[in-house]
Structure 1
Amino acid sequence: MICSVFVVTNSTAQQITDYPIIPYPSYLKPGKGSFIINEHTQINADNIFEREVSFLKELLRNASGYSIKETKLQAKGTINLQQDNNLSNEEGYYLSIKPETILITAKTNTGIYRALQTIRQLLPYNVETNNTTKKAISLPTLEIQDEPVYHWRGMHLDVSRHFFSIDYLKKFMDVMALYKMNKLHLHLTDDQGWRIEIKKYPKLTEEGAWRTFNNQDSACMKLAKENPDMAIDTMHIIHKNGKTLYGGFYKQEQIKELVAYATSRHIDIIPEIDMPGHMMAAIYAYPNLSCEGGSQWGALFSTPICPCKESTFAFAEDVFNEIFELFPSEYVHLGADEVDRKTWMNAQACKELMEKEGLKSPEDLQSYFVKRMEKFFHSKGKKLIGWDEILEGGVSKTAYVMYWQSWVPEAPVKAAKSGNYVIMTPGNPLYFDYPPDIHSLKNIYSFNVVPAALNANEAKFIMGAQANIWTEYIPSEKRADFMYMPRMTALAERLWSKQLDYTSYRGRLIKHYPRLDALKINYRQPDLTGFTQQNVFTDKAILQVQKELPTLNVRYTLDGSIPAATSPVLPGRYTITKPLTIKMAAFNEQGVRGEIYTIQYRKETFAKPVVVQTNKEGLKTSYYKKYFKSATLLDGQDPDSIFVSKDFIVPSSITAPSFGLQYEGYIQIPETGIYSFYLTCDDGGILYIGDKEVVNNDGLHSAIQKTGQVALQKGQYPLRLAFIEGGGGFKLELKYGKGNTEAQDIPGRWLRN
């Protein structure tokens, strides 16, 4: 973590309106008046900032239509870029906008570039397009001192499961640069495809870059019937030898071009060649890479390469030698996650190596592979990063650990206490392939980058964080946009800013959507609220959809079809008097459709309470140490233990990797009315009240919220909540609201047994 000397000030409503900057600066002092950019504006810059001057000229030309000239005079109407070696942070900058001049100082080109991104956000959003109309524009006066809190502010993109073009990667980095993100982690190889040309092993891309459609492609195609963004990009489909193949790869010349593009935007590309596991695409091309020849799927993962053959290390070193030549980054990612080690234990070569090296377990064998590769990396001036599985079997103190297994919270603590630098990427909330919902932005914004168990000295080993985008079910560029934006903006502010204010951030974010439209980003639009997915009424219901972005048009259908830009606009107050299903979606001013909402209404009479004596607070909770695919499967099972819960928080004593919980008892309803329940689960859960299923959030999935309503008279009702966790980290939260009011915690006194 980078320490700061800057002062923190509280944001105000005026600053949100006039200075909608994301991430918010360390210190911002508003001024009076504005600086006018017109035909007389000039740039005066130190010679080392030639590239940044070119970028600034392009920004101002797009914004004003004027071609800005350079000068060596600090005259009125001049934008001055100066080096200041007294600044300690490599990315820090000072920005002063006065009516007469603009001054930007920084220690490095990177600092100047970060300052220009702040100016970019202060300019009208048409700066993102090629504007030729000459028109004077203004910048608000202010003073900013700024620097990031964390050094590592990253985004990860998996181009193996589904492939993305060089043009898309450039667009992706343009958005990263806008929000001051500085690391792009490219996951270039996996079981489903090898995506980078290796000249010494041409079959890696000749064969390993292409596949027939797999089960993930089929799932995407099925979903595309209702969501066109889930369609497979046709640009990556070819027909060869009578087969339809999906794939693609980057030629080395393309990678050089991409790296140069990243460098100009002060982004470091971190390449990942994942081994020893996730190597099926490579083993198909070169079968002798595995211990037994070839590769196949095991219970969970594919056959890995063999760490007991010298030929394996020769292959790995040859591959990484070419990677090192292409990527100047000091960091290179080895992967080393999710390895099925069973085949190693049956190989004679591994038995001999383990005896020779004194290795006792398959974890030790993987550690041997990682440590040997790290020595090779160091000999080439590179630093090795691995997923947190590299801690298993022991790891050197010079390896960098990327923490992702959120169900192993001790992993980053152990690594940092041992002196290993750690990059935080836990699945919850930083896996951006998990579907976003109404809570996503807040969960990211409030994410604790530094684990609470670390002291101040140990916290220095937390370099920062990144979001990961795994693309098994992200088959198109539009879908990728939807999954990472605007979530990336929340992470950008969390990692850069000292001054964190979620309300302020949401106010500023609203002003960024027109800019994202200009950049042609297919972002996830702000949530529509004021309803639940399953609704009930006793006489009639009034649907009043609330929009955070006023310019959105909400359109709807009643026949089950997907709303289109020609569908009718939903009235401000829509009265429902009979059971029906409404599909609705918001459309922005460009006609781009957002999330599709399916809302069901059913007519009910008020349920009648039961008469039962309940004297104890809390719910009887049954704990099952088993793996379940559905919460419905808990019925009829014998629990491993039974205890009483005062709330719906999973107790810390639950340690099984997969389990089920069943909460049973009664809920005391204080007054007659329509009640909404909000159930968030990772993985699945079903809520029953009385004899009704109120919310069904079943299945194996990431943390998502589903909602439902029930009409209840005042009194007590049987309550049952069945919850399952399939492995990989859990979340359970149940809240309520009266009608469509804001969700709130269920009071403990309502729960009885």
Structure 2
Amino acid sequence: MKKYVTLLCIAMVVAACSNSRPTFKKEDISLVPKPVSFQLKDSSFEFNSATAISLEDQSQQKAANYLVGLFNNAAGYSLAVSEGKINEGLIFESTQELKEGAYQLEVDPDIIRIKATDESGFFNAVQTLRQLLPAAIESKEVVDTAWFVPCVSIEDEPRFQWRGMHMDFSRHFFKMDEVKAFLDYMALYKLNTYHMHLTDDQGWRLEIKKYPLLTEKGAWRIPNNQDTICNTRAVENDLYKIDESNFKEIDGERMYGGFYTQEQIKEIVAYAEDRCITVIPEIDMPGHFKSAIDNYPFLSCNEESGWDTVFTYPACLGKETTYEFMKNILSEVVALFPSKYVHIGGDEVNIKSWEQCPHCQGVIKENGLKDEHELQSHFNRNIEQYLQSQGKQLMGWDEIVRGGLTKDASMMWWRNWAPKAPQIAADNGNDIVVTTTAAYYFDYLNEGNKLERVYNYEPVPESFSPEQEEHVLGIQANLWSEWIPNFKRLEYQAFPRMFAVSETGWVAKKDKDFEPFNKSVQKQYDRLDVLDVHYYIPAVEGLEKEIAIVDSTSVTLKLAYPLEGVEIYYTLDGSVPDKNSLKYTNPFVVKDTGTIKARAYRGDVFNDLKSSKIVKREFYEALEVTPENNGLKRWVPKGKFKRVEDIKIPTTANWTAVDGIELGELKEETNFSIIYEGFFKAEKDAVYIFETQADGGSLVYLDKELAVDNGGYHGPRKRYGTVALKKGWHAISVRYKPSSNPRMIKVWYGVQGEDLEPIDISVLSH
């Protein structure tokens, strides 16, 4: 266990030794999510081996059991639980006045009172109490400390009923103890829905007794391209190491995989229920079904399994055997999961095989369906009717909206670029869980989907009416595991962004404020240390681009944001840094080519490696020119060139004067190219960075030498280059060939080590 001791814990021990009860300051306390109403009072309550717990009814048992379990582990004694009345200790009281999940918590020096209407309310109150206790309460070993809780008065209730996290078991698999640890993290932060993505093309992870091949063979695969990427990254980063225990030899081949038996699923469901967490199973159909079709090929249209251009062949929706197979699977699923919902996926289905399949076309014709999308909806309705007969409701990804939904189906909105999907669903009366890539895809790197962005994202679309908003069940963050090959990496991707999901799911929109939230988050890291969570710590900045030198240059490193206890270590020889490497304290000078690598540590927690090559540059001498006009000259040829690399400028080019580099009136045009030419003014002798963001392709030349290569044919992306320029004017040429949908051409510049700014008329002439 990591040995972080906070000043707060020291203060508690001192107070205990002096037989006095400490009074806490507001800044000592961190509660995530923050309560609706919070009042801090003088003094504190002390838990000890004589502390008693009084219950009124069975709805309070789970909460009491959880608290008792924490003290058993960390304090080494068991709190006495009874149904008798007590004058001191912890009292649970039932009331009919609060909404589901809500609670009232009153802590006084001799007594704690918790009021709630249902078991989730009592459980949520205990999680608040858990966060008010010292972080050492998370210990699995006995800790010698005093267990003081500040005297507070709290009234609290959740904003959304669905506050979820998702794990993908198909791409990479996770063990039972890892699932249980994650459920404990969720409980701590009042998250109440756990979405298990159990099947996909890469693996089938749930035992189905009627179809044993699904796990005998479908749960195992030879290493694939996702493993290759992880293995490549793992050379310098242990967080990408694939869990070796998930490999075994089958018929002489090394195979990756794993699955849960039905008994193990029952154990997971029971463990979650003890924490007031509902487990939602996802069995993907009719697409992402390759792991089943591999072993039961009659399920596909052509009785073959495999990949098309992007997605795999789906199950055939024209054969009765497909429907029978799906329902037989679901009959076993619904018996294992007591949840209201069963998620059937329904996303990214490749409909091409249905277009050619006589069985599928026959069903379309017989049922008067308009197209293959309505064929999928026909399938969904059939499966939905079966689930309803089993007392369940169907849920799927937002693609299921296309082709029509019944009013009882629910959907997860993940494609933020498809804003009509939630609108259609809400208008149709369907419930929605918001899980968009814009904020809630936690397989995206922390640097891309940052904590502040996740926190400030409002899940309810701005266009929603109050009636439509009633259909938003809540939010969920997803951890797709293509490049999450082990549990430590999963923790790294989840924390601290899971805090933002916790608070957004709980706190009303009007009451959210990132700055105080972030201060609370800072105090949670010591608790995560005791839990042995490998969380994300701020990235090292300063090595995003290559570093160019003429003779030498100073290198400045910094953290993306401050976090107490984080230190930067680096190397200059290309080796992977650790805590025995050079410790960064001040900017340092480099004089030779090579590679700088750096990463940050907080105790034993480390982050992803950052690196930069040091390259040699020679100065370009300034030109002896005196440009007469501000801005650049521009030539726009129509249809002459297929690629930016093909552009050649004739002597007869028709140039026009422009202020800078932008599409302007050309944004909606097609089949054209742009060439900008003129001079760039270097204000001093220095290494300059030029950066472009462009679709299609772009090239930047300085003094006729290629400085930025953003060529080829692609969507919007950034590229940069470094060039050493003497003070004065230098020839600049920018060439751009847009894609079929012109979007952007932007150019920035700056002295190396300084912030870049848009290139404009202030430094351009012709």
State whether TM-score is above 0.5: yes
Whether 1:486 aligns to 2:496 is yes
C-alpha deviation, 1:119, in angstroms: 1.8
Residue 63 of structure 1 and its aligned partner are, at CA, apart by 4.6
Q: Distance in 2 between matches of 1:62 and 1:580?
A: 51
Contact 1:619 1:645 in 2 (8 A): no
Give the structure 2 partner of residue 512 of structure 1. 524
List gaps (5 residues or longer) in structure 1. 1-13
Instruction: Say whether residues 1:436 and 2:450 are aligned partners.
Output: no
Distance 1:667 1:275, change over 3 A: farther
Relative to structure 1, the CA distance from residue 347 to residue 566 in structure 2 (aligned partners, 3 Å threshold; closer, same or farther) is: same
User: Could you tell me whether the CA contact under 8 Å between 1:38 and 1:135 is conserved in 2?
Assistant: no
What's 1:85 paired with? 96
Asked if the contact 2:662–2:744 (Cα under 8 Å) also holds between the matched residues in 1, the reply is no
Q: TM-score, normalised by structure 1?
A: 0.84
Q: Structure 1 stretch 524-533 or stretch 506-515: which is displaced more? A: 524-533
Q: By how many angstroms is 1:466 displaced?
A: 1.2
Q: Partner letter of residue 518 of structure 1?
A: V
Q: 1:51 aligned to 18, 37, 62, which one?
A: 62
| Deviates most, 666-675 or 157-166 | 666-675
Q: Identify the residue that residue 26 of structure 1 maps to in structure 2.
A: 36
Aligned partner of 1:543 in structure 2 is: 556
Instruction: Tell me the residue number matched to 2:282.
Output: 272
Q: Partner of 1:335: helix, strand, or coil?
A: coil
Question: Partners of 1:109 and 1:676 in 2: how far apart?
Answer: 62
Structure 1 residues 299 and 166, CA, compared in 2 at 3 Å: closer, same or farther?
same
In structure 2, distance between residues paired with 1:15 and 1:708: 51
- Per-residue CA deviation, residues 445-472 of structure 1 (Å, 9 max, x unaligned), is 1212011222222222222221122222
Partner of 1:38: 48
SS of match in other structure, 2:608:
strand
Cα offset, 1:333, TM superposition? 0.5
Q: Which residue number corresponds to residue 11 of structure 1?
A: none
1:109-258 equivalences under 5 Å are 109-258=119-268
- The offset of 1:554, in angstroms, is 2.2
Deviation (angstroms), 1:42: 2.4
Give the C-alpha shift of residue 269 in structure 1. 0.9
- Using the TM superposition, name which of 490-499 and 572-581 deviates more: 572-581
Match of 1:474 in 2: 484
1:262-661 to structure 2, matched below 5 A, reads: 262-437=272-447, 440-498=450-508, 499-529=511-541, 532-536=544-548, 540-546=553-559, 548-590=562-604, 592-602=605-615, 634-636=644-646
C-alpha spacing 1:401/1:124, structure 2 compared with 1 (3 Å): same
For the Cα contact (< 8 Å) 1:678–1:705, is it kept in 2?
Answer: no
- Deviation larger for 110-119 or 267-276: 110-119
Quick one: percent identity of the two aligned structures? 35
Alpha carbons 1:84, 1:105 under 8 Å: kept? yes
One-letter amino acid of the counterpart of residue 55, structure 1 = Y
Distance 1:585 1:119, change over 3 A: same
Q: What is the identity, as a one-letter code, of the residue corresponding to 1:564?
A: D
2:549–2:687 contact (8 Å) kept in structure 1:
no
> Does the 8 Å CA contact 2:567/2:601 hold for their aligned counterparts?
yes
Does the 8 Å CA contact 2:56/2:92 hold for their aligned counterparts?
A: yes
CA gap of 1:192–1:635, structure 2 versus 1, over 3 A, is: same
Structure 1: which amino acid aligns with 2:91? N
Q: Give the superposed CA RMSD.
A: 4.2
The answer to whether the Cα contact below 8 Å between 1:37 and 1:64 also exists between their aligned partners in 2 is no
Determine if contact 2:681/2:764 at 8 Å carries over to the other structure: no
User: CA 1:392 to 1:555, structure 2 compared with 1: closer, same or farther past 3 Å?
Assistant: same
| 1:5 aligned partner | none
Counterparts in 2 of 1:668 and 1:54: CA distance versus 1, 3 Å: farther
Contact 1:188 1:195 in 2 (8 A): yes
Distance in 2, matches of 1:185 and 1:650, equals 46
Matches within 5 A, 1:655-734: 690=702, 718=732
More moved, 427-436 vs 158-167: 427-436
TM-aligned CA distance change 1:175 to 1:316, over 3 Å: same
Q: How far off its partner does 1:278 sit? A: 1.0
Letter aligned with residue 416 of structure 1: A
CA distance in structure 2 between the partners assigned to 1:34 and 1:721 by the alignment: 69
Unmatched tracts of structure 2, length 5 or more: 1-23, 649-655
SS of the residue corresponding to residue 595 of structure 1 reads coil
Distance 1:153 1:697, change over 3 A: farther
- Paired with 2:602 and 2:460, the residues of 1 have a C-alpha distance of 38
Residue 268 of structure 1: CA displacement?
1.0
Q: What SS does the corresponding residue of 1:353 show, helix, strand or coil? A: helix
SS across alignment from 2:344: strand
> Does the 8 Å CA contact 2:239/2:486 hold for their aligned counterparts?
yes
1:66 and 1:134 in contact (8 A); partners too:
no
- The CA deviation string for residues 326-375 of structure 1, in whole angstroms up to 9 with x for no partner, is 00000111111111122222222223222211113111211111111111
- Using a 3 Å threshold, how does the CA distance of structure 1 residues 569 and 68 change in structure 2: closer, same or farther? same
Equivalent residues of 1:532, 1:708 under 8 A apart: no
Q: Which residue of 1 aligns with 2:19?
A: none
Contact 1:30 1:142 in 2 (8 A): yes
Q: CA deviation at 1:545?
A: 3.0
Offset at residue 507 of structure 1 (A): 1.9
Deviation at 1:393, TM superposition (A): 1.7
Q: In 1, are the aligned partners of 2:688 and 2:724 still within 8 Å (CA)?
A: no
Shift of 1:751: 9.2
Cα distance in 1, alignment partners of residues 210 and 411 from structure 2:
30
1:669 and 1:453 map into 2 onto residues whose CA distance is 47
Residue 8 of structure 1: aligned partner? none
Paired residue secondary structure (1:140): strand
Does 178-187 or 568-577 show the bigger shift?
A: 568-577
* Post-superposition CA distance 1:105-156 (Å, at most 9, x none): 1111111111211222222222111343443221222222222222222111
Aligned to 1:68: 79
Cα contact 1:674–1:738 (8 A) shared by 2: yes
**Do the aligned residues in 1 keep the contact of 2:661 with 2:676 (CA within 8 Å)?**
no
Structure 1 pair 652–189 and aligned structure 2 pair: CA distance change class (3 A): farther
1:482-506 per-residue CA deviation (whole Å, 9 max, x = no partner) reads 2222221222222222332222222
- The count of aligned residue pairs is 723
Instruction: Write the deviation string for residues 4-27 of structure 1: whole angstroms up to 9, x where unpaired.
Output: xxxxxxxxxx97732211122222
Superposed displacement of residue 100, structure 1: 3.0
